[in-house]
A and B are shown apart, each in its own frame.
Chain A
């Protein structure tokens, strides 16, 4: 093997796919895809795409810090993401308006992540697996945690979905109608923190956007029916994870690359189709 690792067809891919670590990857990836599909619609309707991006960055030092302290990565991510979620929820719209301050805080969070990463043993692999995901290293314990998070997410959304959409579209009218707008904002951010905590471990801080936001945004080009957007967004995320993992096994590619590429390709196609439809007057 030379300096450039071989990327090419792997004739033993069917055995690879059936290996326990691959089965874990399929299960964990599917759970994250479902969670992303459920929250993605609300992220787009609330126009809080930026919050998903910000939480991923805030989670980075949490994850590397946990490694330094010998704690589970999930715990570190969860603590930092929920703290970040509560801060963003409390500041409300001001966060996205204060671009310089927010950008500076996110850069500092990333720098802290690098520092903690350098303190960890095997620092390079720790940092890489958090920035770009480590789907092939997911453990049974992580899967159990992801399953619990997804259940909590689904249960809470089933209760709050309608008032949450109302509050997202117009906080003023929703508040006048008696919807607890501020409380729902905090609930939403905590749910988003759960999804980010899961997604970072699968797809990584830097690539999370493509799994949490892109599938739902792509679905919205096709339909604006709320249930259909959630179903189609989830389907796109699932197909991206499954075909991405298969492609990774067949051609020895990094799974994160394959998954993100498929999600982006689907988004591009649906974007082009919707542009063409608008141009033809529909």
Chain B
């Protein structure tokens, strides 16, 4: 795929959930290599957008293309980390085994991982900064470390599109910045397009190139400068949001005082 191609294309898409229309008139395209936040109030259908791209939910109207094809289950070119992924893992699984499932989890039979595959697992753990925990149980790690292991699993099979659902939720500030810097590293490689669902865009602002915002039941895409302005965010969240430009040029949005 050339850099000029669009990785995700929606054209007049509507989705239904439980009989009622969640959102509609979704028309946008994400360029390859973008790092895009998906923002919007609770229940606005952010996760459903991911499920649409993964082929887990079908659009009720319009057409969707992902990496040049129609969405389908089992697309190995997409890496996906759902919300609270590691919370369900429990005591029984080591980090190394969880990451290895990103390669072997779809394979039938008992053939052991090849040396090449084991090397990819090690590299993914290393890239995510969790190599030292490889043989520890996932449940023994901190929330930020668990999130990085989950991202390592999503990246181990070299996807072209990475979908992260609320990777920063319930993390302390230090862990958030660890995860953000991992996202930044992945984005800097330039060969992976990243979409991040987040209820808080602040920690992600340094890495974002754009955002899909679910406003009034219609998803829109804009490059980052256009999204982060006070009126739009205030409208989006229904509460006053202020944009502050610091001396370093960073953007911050704050509730209240608008």
Chain A interface (Cβ within 8 Å of chain B)? 41, 44-45, 47, 158-163, 165-166, 169-170, 172-179, 220, 224-226, 229
At the interface with chain A, which of B28-36, B70-78, B180-188, B202-210?
A: B70-78
Main secondary structure of the interface of A (DSSP, over half): helix
CA distance A173 to B85 in the complex (A): 9
* A residues near B81, Cβ cutoff 8 Å: 173
B94 close to A179 (CB less than 8 A)? no
Main secondary structure of the interface of B (DSSP, over half): loop
| One of A159, A163, A169, A225 near B106 (C-beta < 8 A) | A163
Q: How many residues belonging to B are interface residues under a CB distance threshold of 8 Å?
A: 31
* B residues near A174, Cβ cutoff 8 Å: 105-106
> Whose C-beta in chain B lies nearest to the C-beta of A278?
B140
Q: How many A-B residue pairs have CB under 8 A?
A: 84
A177 close to B82 (CB less than 8 A)? no
A224 close to B92 (CB less than 8 A)? yes
A169 close to B94 (CB less than 8 A)? no
A161 close to B110 (CB less than 8 A)? yes
Shortest beta-carbon distance, A194 to chain B, in Å?
Answer: 19
| One of B55, B75, B80, B94 near A224 (C-beta < 8 A) | B94
Interface string of B69-102 (1 = CB under 8 A from A): 0000111101011100100111111100110010
* B residues near A163, Cβ cutoff 8 Å: 105-108
* B residues near A41, Cβ cutoff 8 Å: 92
22 A-B pairs (CB sep. < 8 Å):
A41-B92, A159-B108, A162-B105, A165-B105, A169-B98, A170-B82, A174-B105, A175-B56, A176-B54, A176-B55, A176-B56, A176-B73, A177-B74, A177-B80, A177-B105, A178-B75, A178-B76, A178-B106, A220-B91, A224-B91, A224-B93, A224-B97
> Whose C-beta in chain A lies nearest to the C-beta of B94?
A224
* B residues near A45, Cβ cutoff 8 Å: 90, 92-93
Q: Is B27 an interface residue (CB 8 A)?
A: no
CA distance A44 to B55 in the complex (A): 30
CA distance A173 to B89 in the complex (A): 12
CA distance A174 to B105 in the complex (A): 8
A179 close to B137 (CB less than 8 A)? no
* A residues near B107, Cβ cutoff 8 Å: 162-163
Question: 19 more A-B contacts (CB under 8 A) besides A170-B88, A177-B105, A179-B105?
Answer: A45-B90, A158-B110, A162-B106, A162-B107, A169-B89, A170-B82, A172-B80, A173-B81, A173-B153, A176-B55, A176-B73, A176-B78, A177-B74, A178-B73, A178-B75, A220-B91, A224-B92, A224-B93, A224-B94
* B residues near A159, Cβ cutoff 8 Å: 108-110
Q: Is B104 an interface residue (CB 8 A)?
A: yes
CA distance A112 to B63 in the complex (A): 55
Shortest beta-carbon distance, A125 to chain B, in Å?
Answer: 40
Shortest beta-carbon distance, A236 to chain B, in Å?
Answer: 16
| One of B75, B97, B105, B137 near A226 (C-beta < 8 A) | B97
